[in-house]
Amino acid sequence: MEKFVLALDQGTTSSRAIFFDKAGGIHGTAQLEFKQYYPHDGWVEHDPMEILRSQKLAITAAMEAGEISPAMIDSIGITNQRETTVVWDRSTGKPVYNAIVWQCRRTADICERLIANGLSDYVTEHTGLLIDAYFSATKIKWILDNVEGAREKADRGELLFGTIDTWLIWWLTGGAVHATDYSNASRTMLYDIDKLCWDEKIMKVLGIPMSMMPEAKPSSADFGRVAPGIPGLESLAGIPIRGVAGDQQAALFGQGCFSKGQAKNTYGTGCFLMMNTGETSTRSRNGLVATIAWGYDGKVEYALEGSVFNGGSVIKWLRDGLGLIKSAPEVNILAESVKDSGGVLLVPAFTGLGAPYWDMYARGTMVGITRGTTAAHIARAVLDSIAYQVTDLIGAMEDDVGFRLSELRVDGGASVSNILMQTQADMLGANINRPVVVETTALGAAYLAGLYTGFWKDIEDIEDNRKVERVFTPEIGEPERKRRYAEWQRAVERSRSWAN
Ligand code: ADP
């Protein structure tokens, strides 16, 4: 009987389940969206029980779609939206508050106080991160401070914390396993990424008791088995959970970036760039964060990470804000109708600029407009702007690691744009490598699980699975690249400190 690994991809807007075969091919997939709660300006929450329900329904729907019986499932791998925080009662399994989502800014003032109290260097040194409301630490503190009776319960050891991976594992194992993996732990701002333990000093400053914390394990490890009698999943009892990683790290693994210096970029709503930096962690001089890529095969590997706030969302702005296109794919047709942007440059600093500029007062700017400028030139400038921002991040990363990138592996919704990928290759002076299977996040989680069970033998076994769909090679020389990049930097200068 053919067997499959089941990947659970618990994302920010939907829960998905995908079955992978030995060749890394997809058999049966299902996706269920769930509700986003915005109780106040800048606040974002999910209902943890709804996440659980949607994830369970996605599993049964994917089994149906792929005609897969429980006996055909080798193991389960989990990948998840990172940093999102759940606190629940260990005896009832009931959350004491909604999940506070990574995007939620409600703890910005707590972060400002930590920075004012001089904690920045300590946090970066130990966790690899910059103090920010994205990460789980201040979200846990907020729940303990604001939910009636929560702190007393936590102090009595009655509450548990988990990111979404931990929450799913706990429920799937019937409360038997309270665990996370190194990659998810490294996004909490509470985990010492070099010593591999929860950092007592930061926990103490935030008043978070150690008894709440899950056990952090390698990403390819024993996370227990599905318990008997889980409502809706009764037939899956006994199936082992053997792989766990945060979404970006899982994508890095799914892209086969197993060696130091290999990198991937995901072109989604935002862009997420990650580079494998090998078995020692690096600290960035350029505003990137250091994180654990994964624990696998007795080793821990690290990564540098940077993100662009507005990536594919700029294409959506062209559609919904300007009305110049009716659907995202149309941007390519429009942009291809001109040979270049005709000197127009767009800096989509809609919400400020991230690494390497870190200017929250920057705002969107379009320069170089003449009487000859058309919608096509603006469409071209939109795609250019995504490539230029990623070029900025890669430049920062190359400066941190001290070598030039030879290839960038790509995925995400906007990576299907040939014109964007060509521009990226031109601006990097390096090859852009796009795989056939772009479901790299789910694939990475499946690989981590299947490597533990022996479904896949070793890294070489899965490297053979990665099929290249297309490689884009640079078509312009160094002088032209330098000229265009200098022009971009001039445009960025115009966008800075605007909202001040
Ligand atoms: P996320 O996971 O962040 O929701 P996706 O990876 O699904 O994002 O990518 C969605 C983005 O891809 C959208 O912002 C959209 O603008 C862009 N996109 C979708 N199809 C195309 C296309 N054919 N060409 C260029 N961009 C596209």
Cα of 268 vs centre of ligand 1, distance in Å, is 5
Q: What is the pTM of this model?
A: 0.93
Classify each residue of 363-372 as buried b or exposed e, where b means 16 or more C-beta atoms within 10 Å of its C-beta: bbbbbbeeee
DSSP assignments along 382-419, one per residue:
HHHHHHHHHHHHHHHHHHHHTS--SEEEEESGGGG-HH
Tokens of residue 488, six digits: 């971009």
Q: Are 394 and 409 in contact (CB under 8 A)?
A: no
The structure tokens 């095969």 sit at 297
User: Where does 179-288 show beta strands of DSSP type E?
Assistant: 179-181, 191-192, 197-198, 215-217, 241-246, 263-267, 271-278
Q: Are 440 and 469 in contact (CB under 8 A)?
A: no
Predicted pLDDT at 104: 87
Residues 453, 3: Cα–Cα separation, whole Å: 12
Predicted pLDDT at 451: 97
Identify the three-state secondary structure at position 359: strand
Q: Which of 79, 327, 417 for a ligand 1 pocket mutation test, highest count of atoms within 8 Å of Cβ?
A: 417
Alpha carbon nearest to ligand 1 atom 18, residue: 414
Contacts of 215 (CB under 8 A, 6+ apart): 178, 179, 180
Q: What type of residue is 282?
A: T
For the CA of 311, the closest atom of ligand 1 is 14
Task: pLDDT tens for the chain, 500 residues: list them.
Answer: 899 999 999 998 899 999 999 999 999 999 999 999 999 988 899 999 999 999 999 999 999 999 999 999 999 999 999 999 999 999 999 999 999 999 888 999 999 999 999 999 999 999 999 999 899 999 999 999 999 999 999 999 999 999 999 999 999 999 999 999 999 999 999 999 999 999 999 999 999 999 999 999 999 999 999 999 999 999 999 999 999 999 999 999 999 999 999 999 999 888 999 999 999 999 999 989 999 999 999 999 999 999 998 899 999 999 999 999 999 999 999 999 999 999 999 999 988 888 888 888 899 999 999 999 999 999 999 999 999 999 999 999 999 999 889 899 999 989 999 999 999 999 999 999 999 988 899 999 999 999 999 999 999 999 888 899 999 999 999 999 999 999 999 999 999 999 86
The structure tokens 């929560």 sit at 150
Q: Which of 198, 393, 425, 421 has the alpha carbon at shortest distance from 304?
A: 393
Cα of 269 vs centre of ligand 1, distance in Å, is 6
Contacts of 489 (CB under 8 A, 6+ apart): none
Phi, psi values for residue 79, rounded to 5°: -130, 155
- Tell me the CA end-to-end span of the chain in Å, nearest whole number: 65
Cα of 229 vs centre of ligand 1, distance in Å, is 39
Predicted pLDDT at 53: 96
Predicted pLDDT at 365: 96
Predicted pLDDT at 493: 97
Burial of 105 (0-12, 13-18, 19+ CB in 10 A): middle
Residues with CB under 6 A from ligand 1: 268-269, 312-313, 315-316, 328-329, 331-332, 412-414, 416-417
Residues 385, 295: Cα–Cα separation, whole Å: 35
The structure tokens 């706990």 sit at 170
Q: Write out 43-105 in H/E/C secondary structure.
A: CCEECHHHHHHHHHHHHHHHHHHHCCCHHHEEEEEEEECCCCEEEEECCCCCECCCEECCCCC
Q: Which of 208, 223, 139, 220 has the alpha carbon at shortest distance from 178?
A: 223
Alpha carbon nearest to ligand 1 atom 13, residue: 312
Q: Which of 16, 81, 267 for a ligand 1 pocket mutation test, highest count of atoms within 8 Å of Cβ?
A: 267
Alpha carbon nearest to ligand 1 atom 27, residue: 414
- How many degrees, rounded to 5, is the angle at CA 287 between CA 350 and CA 257? 100
The structure tokens 């909202």 sit at 499
Beta bridge pairs of residue 408: 263, 432
Tokens of residue 419, six digits: 């014109």
Q: What type of residue is 470?
A: R
Helix (H) or strand (E) holding 448: helix 440-453
Contacts of 333 (CB under 8 A, 6+ apart): none
Pairs from 359-364 (Cβ < 8 Å, separation ≥ 24):
359/496, 359/497, 360/499, 361/496, 361/497, 361/498, 361/499, 361/500, 362/492, 362/495, 362/496, 362/497, 362/498, 362/499, 363/495, 363/498, 363/499, 364/495
Cα of 353 vs centre of ligand 1, distance in Å, is 20
**What are the angstrom distances between the C-alpha of 273 and each of 411, 482, 488?**
11, 22, 20
Residues 213, 159: Cα–Cα separation, whole Å: 9
Identify the three-state secondary structure at position 482: helix
Predicted pLDDT at 358: 84
Tokens of residue 18, six digits: 């995908």
Beta bridge pairs of residue 14: 33
Residues 275, 386: Cα–Cα separation, whole Å: 19
Domains of the chain: 4-247 (3.30.420.40)
Residues 263, 304: Cα–Cα separation, whole Å: 9
**What are the angstrom distances between the C-alpha of 149 and each of 86, 143, 153?**
16, 10, 6
